[in-house]
């Protein structure tokens, strides 16, 4: 039996095709695992680099001495073990977390699983703590002669109010952060426009503006630093722009990021898009100032009536009244 006869046999061909198929299956699945492993390592490196840049920027803006090692940075964002155990055992993510929870935390400046776990733990613990404190105060410290069921009803009402405290505090933090970003955003657009027209790329423009805008708004500088890191490491630049608009939650920032995404997608002028958005930002800030100025007269009406007008009447009428009712006057004898 020669080699040609061996190649033409049916059993040999079936065995060869089966071996090729098995090798293809192994190669396909093995390549998938290798790609997933490389993707996980890439995501891990991007997250670590992002945390380093954020720590460097925040330490520069606020004068703090922040460790730049990856381990020390992650220790600051980790939660206590008992919080993690409570959240995992009681499955609080299914009870309290929705699709917008992560975005709301990001708008307030809280990112990562550590802050999410802390928020879920506080939503679970706060009403229980408020209920215990209310029962202790209403039943034992200051009973006040009330029936027991009335005190318990008051305590339950306090616990219901306490259940909303974490959301209220988160909303308050978000409002303050967005106010700081909104105030500094027109100046940020002007600086970005200057950097782009000077020939800088968007990555270098964001880095430069981050250094300059930090004195006016540390929150905006932090967001720009994260965007600069994402522009350097993410393959899709539009995703970095979209993340900035999602983290801030402001319409003017989202509009600017949409314009940048369209400019990057269709190849239009980035400088022209920034110039238009900067003009709109300045006009919006001027309209906001005019709106505040126009609202001053109605706001000043009540203080004028309550405080200024009585004093004014006293000053005007006092000399006449002293002359009439004083010594030698018609009413004073």
Model confidence pLDDT, tens digit, residues 292-304 = 888 888 888 888 8
Residue 186 lies in a domain: yes
Instruction: Give buried/exposed letters for 21-53 (b at 16+ CB in 10 A, else e).
Output: eeeeeeeeeeeeeeeeeeeeeeeeeeeeebbbb
Residue 322 lies in a domain: no
Residue 37 lies in a domain: no
Tell me which long-range contacts 267-274 makes (C-beta under 8 A, separation of at least 24): 270/196, 270/202, 271/193, 271/196, 271/197, 274/189, 274/192, 274/193, 274/196
Please report the pLDDT score of residue 331 as a whole number.
Answer: 60
**Average of pLDDT values for 131-145?**
89
The range of the structural domain enclosing residue 186 comes to 181-286
Residue 134 lies in a domain: no
- The per-residue pLDDT of the chain, averaged, comes to 81
Residue 315 lies in a domain: no
**Average of pLDDT values for 76-85?**
70
Look at residue 56 and tell me whether its pLDDT is greater than 50.
yes
Confidence of residue 332 (pLDDT cuts 50, 70, 90): low
To the question of pTM greater than 0.85 for the whole model, the response is no
Do 252 and 182 form a contact (C-beta atoms < 8 A)? yes
If one counts the domains in the chain, the total is: 1
Do 60 and 217 form a contact (C-beta atoms < 8 A)? no
Q: What does the block give as tokens for 226? A: 């994260």
Residue 205 lies in a domain: yes
Residue 329 lies in a domain: no
Look at residue 27 and tell me whether its pLDDT is greater than 80.
no
Q: How far apart, in whole angstroms, are the C-alpha atoms of residue 235 and residue 127?
A: 44
């Amino acid at each position: 039996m020669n080699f040609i006869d061996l190649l033409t046999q049916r059993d040999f061909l079936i065995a060869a095709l089966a071996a090729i198929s098995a090798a293809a299956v192994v190669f396909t699945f093995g390549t998938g695992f290798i790609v997933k492993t490389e993707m996980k390592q890439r995501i891990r490196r991007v997250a670590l680099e992002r945390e380093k840049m954020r720590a460097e920027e925040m330490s520069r803006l606020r004068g703090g001495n922040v460790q730049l090692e990856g381990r020390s940075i992650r220790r600051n964002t980790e939660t206590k073990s008992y919080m993690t155990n409570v959240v995992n055992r009681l499955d609080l993510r299914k009870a309290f977390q929705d699709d917008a929870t992560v975005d709301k935390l990001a708008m307030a400046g809280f990112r990562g699983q550590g802050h999410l776990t802390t928020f879920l733990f506080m939503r679970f613990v706060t009403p229980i703590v408020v209920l215990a404190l209310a029962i202790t105060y209403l039943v034992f410290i200051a009973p006040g002669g009330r029936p027991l069921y009335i005190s318990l009803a008051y305590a339950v009402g306090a616990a219901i109010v306490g259940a909303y405290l974490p959301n209220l505090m988160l909303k308050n933090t978000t409002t303050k952060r967005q106010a700081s970003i909104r105030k500094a955003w027109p100046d940020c657009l002007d600086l970005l426009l200057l950097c782009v027209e000077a020939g800088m790329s968007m990555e270098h423009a964001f880095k430069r503006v981050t250094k300059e805008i930090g004195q006016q708004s540390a929150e905006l500088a932090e967001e720009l630093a994260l965007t600069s890191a994402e522009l350097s490491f993410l393959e899709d630049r539009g995703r970095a722009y979209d993340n900035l608009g999602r983290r801030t939650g402001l319409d003017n920032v989202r509009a600017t990021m949409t314009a940048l995404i369209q400019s990057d997608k269709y190849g239009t002028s980035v400088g022209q898009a920034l110039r238009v958005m900067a003009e709109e930002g300045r006009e919006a800030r001027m309209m906001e100032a005019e709106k505040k100025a126009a609202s001053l007269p109605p706001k000043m009406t009540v203080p004028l009536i309550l405080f200024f007008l009585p004093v004014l009447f006293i000053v005007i009428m006092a000399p006449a009244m002293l002359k009439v009712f004083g010594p030698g006057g018609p009413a004073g004898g």
